[in-house]
Amino acid sequence: MSEQEKLQPTDAATRHLVRRLIDEPDRWALFLDIDGTLLDLATTPDAIQVPLSLPVDLAAVSGRLGGALALVTGRSLSYADGLFAPHRFPIAGLHGAEFRAADGATSAVEQTSGFDALKRRLVEETAWMEGVLIEDKGAAVAAHYRLAPAYDTALEKIMRDFAEAAGPAWVLQPGKMVFEIRPSRADKGEAVASYLEQPPFLGRLPVAVGDDLTDESMFALANARGGQSIRVGSLSTATCALAKSSSPSAIRSALATIAAAGARKEAAAS
C-alpha cells in the first residue's frame, strides 16, 4: 500500500472515525479489538502479522487522545503486550478476565488446578481431530478449527460439554472458527465500562471497534453511553454495531491518518 493510499480511509465508518478523533480528541475514548480488527485474520493464532507501523500509530493515536485508548481482546494480556512491544497500552485480555488500567494496575481471574486438568483432558480428547489446535491461554482455552472446518459440529459439542463440566465460573464463547472456554465473569462490555470510570477515559464517549461475537457486548455498552460502535469485516451474524468498516486494513489506515494529522498539528504548534 502506498503512503497516499495509507492516508485515505476507505469507507464511511472509518472516515467518520478519523474526523471525530482528529477534530475532538478530548471527547472520545477508543476501544479496539485485535484479531480481525487491527490485524488480518491468519490460519493459526501465531501466524498473525503485525505491520511495523501499527504499534507506532497506536501509540501516536493514544497520545492524541490523552491516553484514552485501550485494547480489548480475547488474547491474553501478556500475548497482546508482545504484539505491540515496546508500547504498553491499557489492555483487557481474555475477553475482559484480565485487566490492566491506564495507571498500570492489573487484575486477573486466577487459574485453578481444576481448570488446568480440564485443559489437559481437552488436548487428549481432541488429539484425533487432525488440524484442530488447542490454544492454552491460562485462565481460558480456545479450540481452533480453521484448518479443520469439518470438525465444526463435533468440536462444538466437546467444548460445550467441557464448559459445562468446568462449572458456572466458566462459559462457552464461540468465535471465528473457534470455540473458547472463558471465565464467565469476563465481558468486553464490562471491561469498557470499567475503563470509563477511570482517568483518562472518564468523561469521554466510547468508540468500540471489533469484528466478532465477543465484541457485541462492547458495542452495546458504547451505544448505551451515546458513543459509537464499528463492526469490521463481513457480517455472518447479527450485530448491534452502529456502523460497519470493510477490513482491518481500513482501520489501520484510519489510525495512520489520525497519527499523521496529530503530528502535523504538533509541528504547526511548535
List, by residue number, the catalytic residues. 33
Nearer to ligand L263DTV3, 19 or 146 (CB): 146
Question: Does residue 42 touch ligand L263DTV3 according to CB under 6 A?
Answer: yes
| DSSP character string of 168-223 | TTEEEEEETTEEEEEETT--HHHHHHHHHTSTTTTTPEEEEEE-SGGGHHHHHHHH
Q: How far is CA 176 from CA 22, 42, 120, 150, 215, in A?
A: 32, 11, 23, 14, 12
According to CB under 6 A, which residues from 74 to 113 bind ligand L263DTV3?
74-75
Q: How many residues does the chain have?
A: 270
**Interface of this chain with ligand L263DTV3, residues 131 to 170, rule: CB under 6 A:** 135, 137, 142, 144, 146
Q: Are 75 and 93 in contact (CB under 8 A)?
A: yes
Q: Which range in 5-13, 14-22, 160-168, 174-182 contacts ligand L263DTV3 by CB under 6 A?
A: 174-182
Look at the block and give the residue holding cell 501516536.
60
Taking CB under 6 A as the criterion, which residues in 55-74 touch ligand L263DTV3? 73-74
The residue within the footprint of ligand L263DTV3, chosen from 7, 45, 154, 184 (CB under 6 A), is 45
C-alpha–C-alpha distance, residues 208 and 101, integer Å: 17
249 contacts ligand L263DTV3 (rule: CB under 6 A): no
176 is a site residue for ligand L263DTV3 (CB under 6 A): yes
> Which residue, 149 or 167, has its beta carbon nearer to ligand L263DTV3?
149
With CB under 6 A as the contact rule, which of the stretches 100-108, 110-118, 149-157, 176-184 interacts with ligand L263DTV3? 176-184
Could you say whether residue 9 binds ligand L263DTV3 (CB under 6 A)?
A: no
CA-CA distance, 252 to 123, in Å (whole number)? 36
Closest CB to ligand L263DTV3 among residues 28, 79: 79
Helices vs. strands in the chain: H and E counts, helices first: 9, 12
Q: Could you tell me the sign of the dihedral formed by the alpha carbons of 106, 109, 114, 119, in that order?
A: negative
- CA dihedral for 156, 130, 77, 209, sign (positive or negative): negative
For residues 22 to 41, the per-residue mask of contacts with ligand L263DTV3, x marking binding by CB under 6 A and - elsewhere, is: -----------xxxx----x
DSSP reduced 3-state for 30:
strand
Residues that bind ligand L263DTV3 (CB under 6 A): 33-36, 41-45, 48, 73-75, 135, 137, 142, 144, 146, 175-178, 180, 212, 214
